[in-house]
Amino acid sequence: MRVLVACEFSGVVRRAFRKKGHEAWSCDLLPADDSQLDHIQGDVREILGDNWDMMIAHPPCTYLSVSGLHWNKRRPGRAELTEEAIDFVQLLLAAPIERIALENPIGCISTRVRKPDQIIQPYNYGHDASKATCFWLVNLPTLRPTRYIPPRIVNGKKRWGNQTDSGQNKLTPSDDRWKLRSVTYQGIADAMADQWG
């Protein structure tokens, strides 16, 4: 299949599909982290009609995720950026591509576009990590878990390796925190390639 991985700079999903023999291309405004030739640096909107069989889309979550929406009433112009982000999500979901998976954390896509078809956790795909990830699917089945990683118990609460004892993400604030948190877990990418490819 010809697979477009929209809004991906890391190459994790692209490489997982390539490993299975598919012609997979990533596209992002940023250059590829792995400097591969199978990455298109540019606006994905310009290539949506290029005869893709499948698209895995990772639109930026900055103005969509529940963790950032509280800023919309505090910072001028931010609500308008959320509207633009919703328009982009709708454009991706309506792309002329037969099979589509759109991935994002819990946020306003659920109330503004539609509820997700599935919410997964990395700990069901071989990672000692908790991070609720939603999928909006078009002509694709939900992903089946591949390998469960149990949590540690702290004061009666479940905590995974990427969490502090209080449940916060262990990544400290930094200029590239957004980039580190946006990379797809390898186990999830492999499940996509195995089950959707």
Q: Which domains does the chain have, with CATH numbers?
A: 2-196 (3.40.50.150)
Token pair, residue 52, equals: 């893709």
pTM (two decimals):
0.90
Determine whether 99 is exposed, middle or buried from the number of CB atoms within 10 Å of its CB (0-12, 13-18, 19+): middle
pLDDT above 90 for 61 = no
What is the C-alpha separation between 86 and 81, in angstroms, rounded?
9
Token pair, residue 147, equals: 């390998």
Three-state DSSP class for 57? Answer: strand
Q: What is the torsional sign of CA 121, 19, 29, 44?
A: negative
Q: What's the pLDDT tens digit per position in 102-158? A: 999 998 899 999 999 999 999 999 999 999 999 999 999 999 999 999 999 999 999
Q: What's the pLDDT tens digit per position in 62-95? A: 767 777 666 666 667 767 877 899 999 999 999 9
pLDDT above 90 for 47 = yes
What is the C-alpha separation between 61 and 67, in angstroms, rounded?
10
What is the C-alpha separation between 197 and 62, in angstroms, rounded?
29
Residue 30: count of CB within 10 angstroms of its CB: 12
Token pair, residue 51, equals: 């005869």
